[in-house]
Amino acid sequence: MSREQLIITEIHEGAQDISLEGIDPNLVIGTNTVMHEAVLQGRDDLLPKLFELGGRLDTPNSIGDTPLQHLARSIVSNDFTIDQFLNTICLLLEHGASVDEIQALMAEYAEDDEALAKIEQLAEEAEKCFDEERSQSIKTETSTTPEVEGQGHGTDYSVSLGLLFAIEIATHLSGDLASLNHVS
């Protein structure tokens, strides 16, 4: 039995304190990679180490699904809820997975209204992951004015997400334009 197969078995059985040293997180063993199995079992504790070991989110399993697609299929076909795996989904998106991977499954489930509704809901919830992540980082970066006599506590100057994204896009575009000016 390969080290990767042993790890997949340990993850599946819910073992704790799993050593991932020396494994290839992208090697397909049977149906899945170690990354696929960790995602499917909601083992968020293992994902950072798998990324550190070179775990890729675009590596397909034996049926061609990325870890996020494999999880989406499992949520649709089992009694899993989206809430059970929302943190895992957000971690995958934070590390480069795309909501497009979930949306790509919609055509497959077009004939099954219940499954299609679950995939659509999953895609909607996944799109919120980035907003919530950005919201959390904004909250840690907000400042307040000093307390003014008679006005109670300071005012919170949180930036709306829409405005923040507009600023990021404008900054990115102006950087691209500036680099074009240097070329000519």
pLDDT at position 15 is 93
Classify residue 83: in a domain, yes or no: yes
Which pLDDT tens digit goes with each residue over 99-125? 999 989 988 988 999 999 999 999 999
Classify residue 179: in a domain, yes or no: no
- Residue 170 has which token pair? 């404008």
CA-to-CA distance for 59 and 32, rounded, in angstroms? Answer: 10
CATH at 27: 1.25.40.20
Percent of the chain with pLDDT over 90: 59
Give the global pTM.
0.69
pLDDT at position 130 is 76
Classify residue 177: in a domain, yes or no: no
Helix (H, G, I), strand (E, B), or coil: what is residue 52? helix
Q: Are 40 and 70 in contact (CB under 8 A)?
A: yes
What is the extent of the structural domain holding 120?
3-143
Which pLDDT tens digit goes with each residue over 71-103? 999 999 887 888 999 999 999 999 999 999 998
Q: Are 11 and 38 in contact (CB under 8 A)?
A: yes
Classify residue 172: in a domain, yes or no: no
Classify residue 99: in a domain, yes or no: yes
R_g over Cα of the chain: 21
Nearest to 70 by CA among 79, 61, 83, 82: 61
| Residue at token pair 């307390």 | 147
pLDDT at position 158 is 29
Classify residue 165: in a domain, yes or no: no
Classify residue 156: in a domain, yes or no: no
Asked if residue 69 has pLDDT above 60, the reply is yes
Q: pLDDT band at residue 132, thresholds of 50, 70 and 90? A: low
Classify residue 81: in a domain, yes or no: yes
Rounded to 10 degrees, the C-alpha dihedral 132/134/135/141 comes to 150
| Number of domains observed in the structure of the chain | 1
